[in-house]
């Protein structure tokens, strides 16, 4: 298990996971504004929630308003150096659920992805720290962040998306 302040504890299982974890940790260690929204530094840390249904058979996905793609819930740390906190906060804000809990306190998955230029914001990277959560109470409601919000069977995720990141997290969730 490897720990990085503000990011969490992660146990990389593959060379890909180790390489991405090392890049994320290097970014946090050298960039004092890593947890801010300042895209001029080339990127920032984000926290995501792969939210499973109470029976763990489905995952909640959002059709992102700006990007126009289906993704897990999540967002910017906005200056708070705590990706775990951010993931849970974003899960609440973007889902409408009344209660979500962590399946594990450790980081579930990591990713680095390109965010295209949007308005006055330059293209940059999201160093995404992902946690596995489970819905415990409440009904979903679409937020301003989303065009749509949908429960998708984890076992059938590949017929819903071709995104390698989502498919990888789906495979990991099925393995627990």
Looking at residue 96, which CATH number applies to its domain?
A: 3.90.79.10
pLDDT at 95: 97
* Rounded-to-integer distance, Cα 45 and Cα 97, Å: 24
Q: Is the pLDDT of residue 116 over 90?
A: no
CA distance 172 to 151: 17
**What is the span of the domain harbouring residue 162?**
2-174
Distance CA(61)–CA(50), nearest Å, equals 8
128-143 burial: b if 16+ Cβ within 10 Å, else e: bbbbbbbbeeeebebb
- The whole-model pTM stands at 0.95
Residue 68 pLDDT greater than 90, yes or no: no
pLDDT at 91: 97
Task: State residue 41's pLDDT score.
Answer: 94
What pLDDT, in 10s, does the model give residues 6-59?
A: 999 999 999 999 999 999 999 999 999 999 999 899 999 999 999 999 999 999
* Counted domains in the chain: 1
* Residues 51-61 pLDDT 10s: 999 999 999 99
């Amino acid at each position: 298990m490897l720990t990085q302040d503000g990011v969490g504890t992660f146990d990389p299982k593959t060379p890909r996971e180790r390489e991405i974890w090392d890049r994320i940790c290097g970014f946090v260690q050298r960039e004092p504004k890593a947890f801010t929204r300042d895209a001029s530094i080339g990127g920032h840390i984000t926290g995501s929630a792969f939210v499973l249904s109470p029976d763990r058979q489905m995952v909640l996905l959002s059709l992102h308003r700006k990007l126009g793609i289906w993704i897990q819930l999540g967002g910017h740390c906005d200056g708070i150096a705590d990706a775990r906190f951010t993931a849970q906060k974003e899960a609440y804000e973007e889902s409408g659920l009344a209660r979500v809990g962590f399946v594990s306190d450790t980081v579930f998955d990591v990713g680095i992805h390109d965010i295209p230029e949007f308005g006055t914001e330059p293209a940059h990277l999201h160093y995404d720290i992902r946690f596995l959560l489970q819905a415990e109470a409440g009904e979903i409601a679409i937020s301003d962040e989303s065009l749509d919000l949908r429960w998708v069977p984890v076992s059938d995720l590949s017929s819903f998306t071709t995104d390698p990141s989502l498919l990888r997290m789906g495979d990991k969730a099925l393995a627990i």
